[in-house]
Structure 1
Amino acid sequence: MTANSMAGAGGLPAHGLSGEGALARVSEWFQRSGISRGRAARASRLSGGAIQENWRIEMDDGERFVLRTDADASIPTSCSRPEEYARYSLAYSHGARVARPYGLCEDRSVIGKPFFILEFVSGETAGHVLVKDNAVPDREALAHELGELLGVIHRVPAVDITPVFGVPPSATALASIQHIRRQLDELPEPHLGAEVCLRELEARLGRETEAVFAHGDYRTGNYMVDKGRVSAILDWEFSGWSHPLEDIGWFTAPCWRFGRFDMGGGGVGSLQSFLDGYRHSTGRHVDASELVDWQALAQIKWAVIALHQEARHISGAQRSLELALSGRLVSGLVLEAMKLMEI
Structure 2
Amino acid sequence: MNDFDHKLAALMTRLAGPGEVAGLARLSGGANMESWSFDWAGGGFVLRRAPSAKYMADRPFGHETEAALVRTARAGGVMAPEVVGVLEEGDGLGTGYVMRRIMGEVAPAKILADPPPTLLADMGRELARIHALPASALPDAIPVMDYGDALAALKAQFESYGGDRPIIALAIRWCEAHRPAPVDPVLVHGDYRMGNMMVGPEGLRAVLDWELAHRGDRHEDLAFGCMTVWRFGMLDRPALGLGSLDDYFAAYEAAGGAPVDRDRFHYWLVYRTLWWALGCLQMGQMWRSGADRTVERVVIGRRTAEQELDLLALLENDAPDAEKMQPLPPSLSPSGSPAGEPTNGEILSAVRDWLDQSIKRDAEGHAKFEVVVAMNALGIVMRDLDAAVRAEDRALADDLLSGARSLAEPGLLGRLRRAALDKCAVDSPKYAALARARAQWARAQWER
User: Deviations along 1:10-47, whole A, 9 cap, x unmatched?
Assistant: xxxxxxxxx444433333332333x3432223421011
Q: In structure 2, do the counterparts of structure 1 residues 130 and 53 end up closer, same or farther at CA, with 3 Å as the change threshold?
A: same
* Structure 1 residue identity aligned to 2:9: S
SS of 1:55 mapped into structure 2: strand
Does residue 44 (structure 1) correspond to residue 25 (structure 2)? The answer is yes
Q: Which residue of 2 aligns with 1:280?
A: 254
Give yes or no for contact 2:273–2:307 (8 Å, CA) kept in 1: yes
1:305 maps to 279
Secondary structure of the corresponding residue to residue 140 of structure 2: helix
Q: How does 1:206-245 map to 2 (within 5 A)?
A: 206-245=180-219
1:330-341 to structure 2, matched below 5 A, reads: 330-341=304-315
Deviation of 1:275 after TM superposition, in Å, equals 1.0
- Runs of 5+ in structure 1 lacking a partner? 1-18
How many angstroms does 1:156 deviate by?
Answer: 0.7
**Other-structure match for 1:255:** 229
Contact 2:116 2:203 in 1 (8 A): no
Show the counterpart of 1:117: 98
2:436 corresponds to: none
User: Does the CA contact (< 8 Å) of 2:65 and 2:139 recur in 1?
Assistant: no
| Contact residue 77 and residue 183 of structure 1 kept, 8 A | no
| Structure 2 portions without partners, runs of 5+ | 319-448
Alignment partners' CA distance in 2, 1:332 and 1:40: 41
Contact 2:131–2:257 (CA under 8 A) maintained in structure 1: no
1:214 and 1:239 in contact (8 A); partners too? yes
Q: Give 1:340 shift.
A: 1.7
SS at the partner of 1:262? coil
- Give the counterpart letter for 1:92 in structure 2: R
Deviation at 1:100, TM superposition (A): 0.6
Percent of matched pairs sharing the same residue: 25
Per-residue CA deviations over 1:120-177 (Å, capped at 9, x if unaligned) read 0111111222222xx2242xx21111011011000011222362426x45xx433432
Q: What is the alpha-carbon distance in structure 1 between the residues aligned to residue 204 and residue 44 of structure 2?
A: 20
TM-score between the two structures when normalised by the length of structure 2: 0.64
The amino acid that maps onto 1:154 is: H
Name which one, 1 or 2, has greater alpha-carbon Rg: 2
The yes-or-no answer on 1:54 pairing with 2:35 is: yes
Between 1:293-302 and 1:72-81, the stretch displaced more is 72-81
2:255 aligns to what SS in structure 1? helix
CA distance in 2, matches of 1:62, 1:228: 25
Instruction: Return the letter of the residue paired with 1:97.
Output: M
Q: Is the 8 A contact 1:201 1:297 kept in 2?
A: yes
The Cα shift of 1:326 comes to 1.9
Superposed CA deviations along residues 170-217 of structure 1, whole A, max 9, x for unmatched, are xx4334323433443443564343233123212212532331100001
**Aligned with 1:174 (options 130, 148, 165):** 148
User: CA 1:87–1:324 in structure 2 vs 1: closer, same or farther (change >3 Å)?
Assistant: same
How far has the Cα of 1:113 moved from its partner? 1.2
Tell me the residue number matched to 2:135. Answer: 158
Paired residue for 2:14?
32
- Structure 1 residues 321 and 286: alpha-carbon distance in aligned structure 2, compared to 1, 3 A threshold: same
Distance 2:51 2:2 in 1: 21
Give the TM-score, by structure 1 length: 0.82
Question: Against the structure 1 CA distance between its residues 173 and 144, is the aligned structure 2 distance closer, same or farther, given a 3 Å change threshold?
Answer: farther
Report how far residue 308 of structure 1 moved.
1.3
Structure 2 equivalent of residue 4 of structure 1: none
